[in-house]
Amino acid sequence: MSIIYENKNIKIEVEESEIPWLKIFTQDSYKEMSEVPAEIKFEIYDLLDIIEKEMIAYYNPKKINIASFGNYIPHVHWHIMARFEEDAYFPEPMWGTKQREGDLDLPSFESFCDKVIKLLS
């Protein structure tokens, strides 16, 4: 996994996938969102907002999915995914049943990540 941004509270990682997919982790390990200090919660929500808006502007997806499960990794983290009717799982979640072979021709994910990094710096 590659980290594209981090500070004392959070880090943002890339999830390798056919779709644009980033994850926001807290630096300290919290099992539940209710355990996270308020200032870090606000920071996470701000980051979710920034990333979602940039995904919409850059990719024009059918839908943005934002999820927080942590069943396998009991460490607070959020998934932000741009979804397209042509992706392999749509309308299922990315953890669901594959619907087809994905057929996506998307703008550069590296350029998207560069834009996000600039917005956060």
CATH of the domain at 7: 3.30.428.10
Tell me the three state secondary structure of residue 25: strand
Q: How confident is the model at residue 20 (pLDDT cuts 50, 70, 90)?
A: very high
Is pLDDT larger for residue 75 or for residue 72? 75
Q: What is the mean pLDDT of residues 73-95?
A: 94
First-to-final CA distance of the chain = 21
Q: What is the mean pLDDT of residues 72-96?
A: 93
CA angle 67, 113, 86 (to 5 degrees): 60
With tokens 């917005």, the residue in question is 119
Range of the domain at 12: 2-120
What is the dihedral sign for C-alpha 29, 33, 37, 38? positive
Q: What is the mean pLDDT of residues 69-97?
A: 92
| Pairwise CA distance, residues 34 & 103, whole Å | 39
**Number of compact structural domains in the chain:** 1
Q: What is the largest CA-CA distance in the chain?
A: 42
Per-residue pLDDT for 1 more than 90?
no
